[in-house]
Amino acid sequence: MKILIAGDLVIPESVGSENLLADDVKGLFQTSDYNILNLECTVTDAGIESQIIKTGPHLKGNEYLIKSVLRDLKINLVTLANNHILDYGAKGLVDTIEFCKTQGVEFVGAGRTLHEAQRPTRVIIDGIRISIVNFAENEWASSTEQTAGANPMDIVENVRVIKKEKKNSDFVFVIIHGGHEYYNLPSPRIQKQYRFYVDNGADLIVGHHPHCISGHEIYNGVPIYYSLGNFLFAKEKNTNGWYLGIVLALNISNNGTIETQAIPVQLDRTSFILKTLPDDEEKAFNNDFQKFNEIIGNKEKLEKSWEEYVSSRTYQFLNNWSPASFIKNRYIYGLMNKLGFSRFLMNEHYTKAKLNLIRCEAHADLSKKILKKHLSSNEIDKISNPS
C-alpha cells in the first residue's frame, strides 16, 4: 500500500496560469493508493468584512485552480488544522469545508466547534485501519467549545485522542502544523513533544508550517518528519527554501511495517509550476537532508543550532516586545530602532514582568484570555458558528 503526504497548498486568486503541475508530479500521485496534503487557505467568497483580527496575511484561494490540483493529484484528504483556516472567520472555514465536500475530498483538523475540529479521520485501505489526527499550533485559528476553527495543539487533549485512536486502529498518523518559520530544524522542545506523541501511540509524525524542509528521525521505531516544507505555495518569496518541498511516500507492508521515502519537489519561481527535482539537484537535496538528519540525531548539535537561531532572531523579537512597537509611523519607529531607543525602553523591570506573564502557566492563562477579549468584543461574531 502506498500513501503520499504533502505540505502546504496555497494558490491565491491572483494566480492566472491554469497548469501548475508537471506531468511527473501528476504521475507520482496517480500511482498512489491514498493522497493527503495541507490546504492552507480558505476557499470562500467571504469579503474583507469577514476577516478576523490577526497578524500576518489573510489567505484566500483560487477555487478553480485548487479544484484542478485536487482532481489532478487524486487527493483523498486535506488537513485543515493550520494558522490560516480561520482568516475569513467562520464563514470562510465553513465555505472551505463545503468546497471539500463538493469535490469528494475528506477533511480533518477543523470544524464549526472544538468537538468537530478534534474529530480524527478513519480510513480503511487494503484492510488496514488508519486513523489520521491533525492539529495546529495556536496562532489565530484555534477553535473553542463555541467557535469555529482549527484543532488546537494541546498536549493533554492531543494525547487523549491519540491513545483513543490507537485502541481502534492499526496505525495512527499524526499531522502537525507548527514549528519555526524558515528554520530547518525542530527546537529541542518540539523534538521532545513530538517524541512524546510517539510514546503515547503515534505510528507516524509529520509536520509542516516552517515553509522550508527539515530532516527526520526514527524514534522508537517510529518515523518523525519535522517539516515537509511548502508543496505548492504560489507566492513569490526571496528565500530559496520557500520553493522546495518534500512529498512523503509511505509504503505499508502486509506485516505492518512502514517504510518512508522523502521525494523532493520544486516550484518554479515565476510560472509556479511544480515538478520533481532533476537528478543533479536531487543529489544536493539529499546532502542537505542528511545534514539535517544528523543534527536532529545529535542532542548537542541540535541545542547548538537552536541557540544560533535564537541569536539570529533576538533583535527582531526584542523590538516586537518593546513598548515602542505601538508606534504606527514607520519613519519614527525606524529612527527609534536605529537610535536604540526601543531597546532602551525594555528595562529590567519591564522585561522581568513580561517574562513572568508568558513563562508562568497561571499568568499565561490569564494573559491569553484577557488580551483576546481586549482585542475586540465584536470578533466573536466572525468566528462563531454561523446560523
Give the C-alpha separation, 351 to 322, whole Å. 9
- Is the backbone of residue 151 left (phi > 0), alpha (psi -120 to 50) or beta? beta
Apex CA 190: angle with CA 243 and CA 222, to 5°? 85
Strand, coil or helix: 318:
helix
Fold exhibited by the domain 2-298: Purple Acid Phosphatase; chain A, domain 2 (3.60.21)
C-alpha cell belonging to residue 371: 488580551
* Out of 254-268, 272-286, 329-343, least confident range: 329-343
Residue 57 has pLDDT above 80, yes or no: yes
In the chain, ranges of CATH 3.60.21.10 domains: 2-298
Nearest to 351 by CA among 304, 387, 317: 317
Q: What is the pTM of this model?
A: 0.94
pLDDT tens for residues 78-89? 999 999 999 999
**pLDDT at residue 222, rounded to an integer:** 98
- E-strand spans in the chain? 2-10, 34-39, 77-79, 106-108, 110-111, 121-125, 128-136, 149-150, 171-177, 204-208, 216-219, 222-225, 230-233, 244-252, 258-267, 274-276
Over residues 358-386, the mean pLDDT reads: 81
**pLDDT at residue 116, rounded to an integer:** 97
**pLDDT at residue 332, rounded to an integer:** 75
Over residues 168-197, the mean pLDDT reads: 97
Residue type, 318: L
**Element spanning 227, H or E:** none
DSSP code per residue over 111-159: ESSHHHHT--EEEEETTEEEEEEEEE--SS-B--SSB-EEPBP-HHHHH
Residues 38, 6 contacting (CB under 8 angstroms): yes
Over residues 12-39, the mean pLDDT reads: 95
% of the chain beyond a pLDDT of 70: 95
Residue 377 has pLDDT above 70, yes or no: no
> Between residues 249 and 352, which one has the greater pLDDT?
249
Nearest to 148 by CA among 385, 381, 387, 386: 385
C-alpha cell belonging to residue 233: 505555495
Nearest to 309 by CA among 295, 289, 297: 295
382 pLDDT band, cuts 50/70/90, is confident
C-alpha cell belonging to residue 95: 465555505
C-alpha cell belonging to residue 321: 516586545
**Residue found under cell 507492508:** 253
155-168 vs 188-199: helix crossing angle, rounded to 10: 30
Instruction: Give the chain's length.
Output: 387
**pLDDT at residue 351, rounded to an integer:** 87
Residues 74, 101 contacting (CB under 8 angstroms): no
C-alpha cell belonging to residue 32: 498512489
Residue 239 has pLDDT above 80, yes or no: yes
354 pLDDT band, cuts 50/70/90, is confident
Residue 162 has pLDDT above 70, yes or no: yes
Residues 134, 108 contacting (CB under 8 angstroms): yes
pLDDT tens for residues 186-223? 999 999 999 999 999 999 999 999 999 999 999 999 99
**Element spanning 39, H or E:** strand 34-39
Residues 198, 205 contacting (CB under 8 angstroms): yes
**pLDDT at residue 379, rounded to an integer:** 67
327 pLDDT band, cuts 50/70/90, is confident
For all residues of the chain together, what is the average pLDDT?
A: 93
317 pLDDT band, cuts 50/70/90, is confident
- Residue 296, C-beta contacts closer than 8 angstroms, at least 6 positions apart: 185, 186, 191, 214, 215, 216, 217, 226, 302
Over residues 3-29, the mean pLDDT reads: 95
Over residues 350-374, the mean pLDDT reads: 88
Nearest to 70 by CA among 98, 35, 95: 35
Residues 166, 172 contacting (CB under 8 angstroms): yes
